Amino acid sequence: MGIFDFLTGEFIDVIHWVDDTRDTMVSRFQREGHEIKYGAKLTVREGQAAVFVHEGQLADVFTPGLYMLETNNMPLMTTLQHWDHGFKSPFKSEIYYVNTTRFNDLKWGTKNPIICRDPEFGPVRLRAFGTYSVRVVDPAKFLTEIVGTDGEFTMDEISFQIRNIIVQEFSRTVARSGIPVLDMAANTRELGKLVAKEIEGQLAEYGLALPELYIENISLPPSVEQVMDKRSAMGVIGNLNEYMQFQTAEAMGREGAGAAALQTGLGAGIGMQMAAGAGPWGAQPAASKPAPMAPPAPPVEHVWHVAVDGNTTGPFSKAAMGRKATDGALTRETLVWTAGQDGWKKAEDVRELAQLFTILPPPPPGA
């Protein structure tokens, strides 16, 4: 795709560039043996910048507008040789068009897991991905630092370097933030702003800016997610013994008459065994006492997170929560959360914590 219209035979009269590729960042004028005519018209549209290079030196940067290529409106070119000779010299002059619009919906993601220290789960591995946008804010610096003499520079040639910068700064920001894994989904916007601010200076050295950076997802390894799902399910089930009794009752109800017949048969069999053990002289003493049944496993103690002025504190054990209730730091209206609980709840609405307030009278009416 050319960027010039040759309207006057062997001389170039109008210089312009129209791009429809959506990924071209820089395009250079292809001379094709023609020299720029003195007084030629240069058109720079909105979202573009034109960089003039003469004899290998960057001469001028043109913002959107219509220009006549003459010495009186090109002060930097007047210091270069042969411009006043009407472009008749053998020295080459080049024009680079730079796209200054945003390049959107660019992808980034962590190639390898990031190891972080979580306050609740300990060391964890995280993966993240998202999108970002980038634009050229300093065409001259971008041309000298990145493009060089490339005649057509596309976004793909720089996107890999930008992704590496984003991933590096994301890893450092997450490791230093101290945000628990369970709360990261609620803080993706703040994390994105922190990462964008960290890489702002580094991209400025390339003549680029990062208008937007989005974190779409932060995830744990599949094996850890499965364990968390099981832990959540246990929190929903609650008392395991009661749950097993409920399951047994439901199974017997589904079986109907068959279950009743089975129970009758089991009762008859037990009666026959008892009669056989009694013998003709009555029941015989047992030779040895049966082994006592092992006690059930103690219930898992919950730990609680407390919301105070929009900040999350904890986790706290139930004993610590009791001390907070005694000191007045924990009230009936305090919002608390524990694993397996459906969102934040008032302390008085949680059965385990409501017991902490029974020893204290409720507030008097009208208080």
pLDDT digits (tens, 9 = 90+) for 199-248: 999 999 999 999 999 999 888 878 777 777 776 676 666 666 776 777 78
- C-alpha to C-alpha distance for 61 and 100, rounded to whole angstroms: 13
Residue boundaries of the structural domains of the chain: 4-99, 103-224, 304-357
Candidates 29, 22, 25; CA nearest to 2 is: 29
> Which DSSP string do the residues of 268-324 spell out, in sequence order?
HHHHHHHHHHH-TT-PPPPSSPPPPPPPPPPPPPP-EEEEETTEEEEEE-HHHHHHH
pLDDT at 161: 92
d(CA 13, CA 26): 22
Element spanning 262, H or E: helix 257-278
Cα–Cα distance between 31 and 287 in angstroms, integer?
A: 110
CATH of domain 103-224: 3.30.479.30
pLDDT for the residue 350: 82
Cα separation of 43 and 52, whole Å? 13
Please tell me the predicted confidence (pLDDT) of residue 290: 62
CA distance 241 to 239: 6
What pTM does this model have?
A: 0.56
Q: What is the pLDDT of residue 90?
A: 40
Residue 267 confidence class, pLDDT cut points 50, 70, 90: low
Q: Which of 112-116, 123-127, 289-293 has the lowest mean pLDDT?
A: 289-293
Which fold is adopted by the domain 304-357?
Dna Ligase; domain 1 (3.30.1490)
- The residue that leads in pLDDT, 216 or 295, is 216
Taking only the tens place, the pLDDT of each residue in 136-195 is 999 999 999 999 888 899 999 999 999 999 999 999 988 888 888 888 888 889 899 999
Lowest mean pLDDT among 42-51, 131-140, 320-329: 320-329
